């Protein structure tokens, strides 16, 4: 033997203690996040006359969604646009399966009509008709995802 009995027992105890903490760290870092279920999320975008920005915004949102662990459903409410926004949204419905578009006239209450389409437990509403610019909307989405 290289060490006396008491030193060997102490080293073995410290090795077991260190191995136990290594297993706990691996559990917290790798296994536990994969076992926990993330809450479901819905994104609700209200748009009107955004033909210049809507394609870039939707592609940016889809790219963000594909890179993150959260996979929300995406609902876009088209609020009576007079430009090419409805046609652009119609093209995106075929490309992205989680996108749903609701076409409403301008006099309807858009959020109340679109909330039944949102399947998530939490709903993020981005009103780009009255409140947000496209840049503010993208900045808020960057803060939400990753």
CATH number at residue 56: 3.90.550.10
Q: Do 5 and 64 share a domain, yes or no?
A: no
Q: Do 122 and 64 share a domain, yes or no?
A: yes
Instruction: Give the contacts of 135 (CB within 8 A, at least 6 positions apart).
Output: none
Q: Do 105 and 78 share a domain, yes or no?
A: yes
Q: What is the domain range of residue 54?
A: 41-144
Q: Looking at the predicted structure, is the pLDDT value of residue 110 above 80?
A: no
Q: 35 falls in which pLDDT band (50, 70, 90)?
A: low
Q: Do 92 and 140 share a domain, yes or no?
A: yes
Q: Do 56 and 97 share a domain, yes or no?
A: yes
The number of folded domains in the chain is 2
Q: Which helix (H) or strand (E) holds 33?
A: helix 32-35
More confident call, 102 vs 70: 102
Instruction: Give the contacts of 142 (CB within 8 A, at least 6 positions apart).
Output: 64
Tokens of 30: 């790798």
Q: Do 27 and 46 share a domain, yes or no?
A: no
Q: Are 101 and 89 in contact (CB under 8 A)?
A: yes
Per-residue pLDDT at 1: 53
Q: Do 60 and 131 share a domain, yes or no?
A: yes
Tokens of 137: 């909307």
Average model confidence (pLDDT) across the chain: 84
Q: Do 78 and 129 share a domain, yes or no?
A: yes
Q: Do 45 and 71 share a domain, yes or no?
A: yes
Axis crossing angle, helix 134-144 with helix 54-67, rounded to the nearest 10: 0
More confident call, 37 vs 15: 15
Q: Looking at the predicted structure, is the pLDDT value of residue 60 above 70?
A: yes
d(CA 8, CA 142) in angstroms, rounded, equals: 54
Distance of CA 49 to the CA centre of its chain: 25
């Amino acid at each position: 033997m290289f060490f006396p009995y008491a030193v060997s027992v102490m080293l073995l105890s410290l090795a077991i203690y260190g191995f136990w903490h290594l297993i706990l760290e691996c559990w917290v870092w790798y296994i536990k996040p994969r076992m926990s279920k993330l809450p479901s999320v819905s994104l609700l975008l209200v748009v009107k006359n955004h033909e210049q920005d809507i394609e870039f915004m939707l592609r940016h949102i889809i790219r963000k969604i594909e890179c993150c662990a959260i996979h929300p459903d995406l609902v876009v409410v088209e609020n009576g646009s007079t430009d090419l926004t409805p046609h652009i949204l119609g093209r995106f419905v075929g490309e992205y399966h989680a996108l749903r578009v609701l076409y409403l006239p301008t006099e309807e209450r858009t959020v109340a009509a679109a909330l039944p389409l949102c399947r998530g437990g939490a709903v993020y509403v981005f009103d780009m008709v009255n409140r947000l610019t496209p840049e503010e909307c993208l900045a808020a989405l960057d803060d939400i995802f990753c």
